[in-house]
Amino acid sequence: MNKAQGIKLSVVIPLYNEAENLPELYKQITASCGNLDIPFEMVFVDDGSADNSFQVLKELEAGDPRLKIIRLRRNFGQTAALSAGFDYARGEIIITLDADLQNDPGDFPLLIGKIEEGYDIVSGWRLKRKDKLISRRLPSVAANWFISRITKVKLHDYGCTLKAFRKDIVKNIKLYGEMHRFIPAIASTMGVTIAEVRVNHRPRIHGKSKYNISKSIRVFLDLLTVKFLLTYSTRPLQAFGLFGLITGGIGGILALILSYQRLILRVGISNRPLLLLAILLIVIGFQFITMGLLGEIMVRSYHETAEKHIYVIREVVDSEREDEP
Ligand code: UDP
Ligand code: MG
């Protein structure tokens, strides 16, 4: 067995300008993982930090082969950094956490325990969140309520980075935008089991929060994408087509009424705003339907060129067949 196969746990940490936090974070992670007594690695993803985070990491790396550094060329954002870490990680279990010491590595055993019970994803719930009320906690209450309504994956705290995943879950997911908080929702289409555990949360002592209220808007837009992809990504015509039929249908009825008035009742319709509306609705209806049809073509090329299937297999049991299906 080579070394890489022996790694049981990968801890993935995205960081951006967190130099002061890193030595203490390293200490806490190694202490917590040391107690677990399993082979592990730490994957620090330096998301284009402008401070000396990378130098600090290099120093730590020199004394510990379990520490890996991925340095991105510029600041790509937390989601991209996590994604880079997922691609690199080799452990059977992958734990993600923030680099600012707000998440507590002391919670690892709790998360791993749940994974060992058989769950595919374990999500942290920061019951006593230590962040600013107006700019962070209030938007998050609203966002959590909304996300759980829309995605139908019931969690209390989507924004918590402290999560644990089985390897095959994160390796199968592609992330864009600010979507890391939607991993459980995206993964739910694969048919995963999700558990939630209460975790510790601590105030940020060094460095600054990288986010402000404008993030809420971006998260909302991403939610729209996720919702659409979750529900209609393999059948766009059913989404657009329905709108198209409704608007086109209303437009058609209005046009019929107007035609009746003009041709049978001989009422002039040149000064009727309704005429404009009818034309508008008919055009919009056609456009929605064509958009749906274009969507159908795009879905096909997406799934066929990228060899993406419309299903996800857990395992195949076939003792005769040796090649991978
Ligand atoms: N982060 C990152 N790239 C970014 C912004 C943030 O890797 O562009 C990291 C950051 O260093 C931290 C984590 O993502 O480890 C969460 O960020 P932060 O603590 O600023 O968010 P908050 O806790 O305020 O939500
Ligand atoms: Mg933080």
Condensed to tens digits (0 to 9), the pLDDT of residues 43-73 reads 999 999 999 999 999 999 999 999 999 999 9
Pocket test for ligand 1, best of 43, 158, 210, 213 (most atoms within 8 A of CB): 210
CA of 91 to the centre of ligand 2 (A): 25
CA of 128 to the centre of ligand 2 (A): 14
Rounded-to-integer distance, Cα 147 and Cα 157, Å: 10
Q: What's the pLDDT at 323?
A: 65
Q: What's the pLDDT at 247?
A: 97
Rounded-to-integer distance, Cα 312 and Cα 293, Å: 25
CB contact at 8 A, 99 and 19: no
Take atom 9 of ligand 1 and give the residue whose Cα is closest. Answer: 15
Q: What's the pLDDT at 1?
A: 45
* Residues 255-304 pLDDT 10s: 999 999 999 999 998 889 999 999 999 999 999 999 999 999 988 888 78
Residues with CB under 6 A from ligand 1: 14-16, 18, 47, 75, 77-78, 81, 98-100, 102, 209-211
Q: What are phi and psi of 270, to 5 degrees?
A: -70, -25
Neighbours of 293 (CB within 10 A): 15
Q: Residues 6 or more apart from 62 whose CB is under 8 A from it?
A: none
* Atom of ligand 1 lying closest to residue 98 CA: 15
Candidates 223, 226, 189, 183; CA nearest to 310 is 189
CB contact at 8 A, 21 and 100: yes
Query: pTM of the prediction?
Result: 0.83
- 15 forms beta bridges with 46
Give me the helix-helix angle, 214-232 and 236-263, nearest 10°. 90
Q: What's the pLDDT at 260?
A: 96
CA of 210 to the centre of ligand 1 (A): 5
Q: What's the pLDDT at 312?
A: 67
Q: Which residues of the chain have pLDDT under 70?
A: 1-5, 310, 312-314, 322-325
CA of 219, nearest ligand number = 1
Candidates 196, 193, 190, 192; CA nearest to 230 is 190
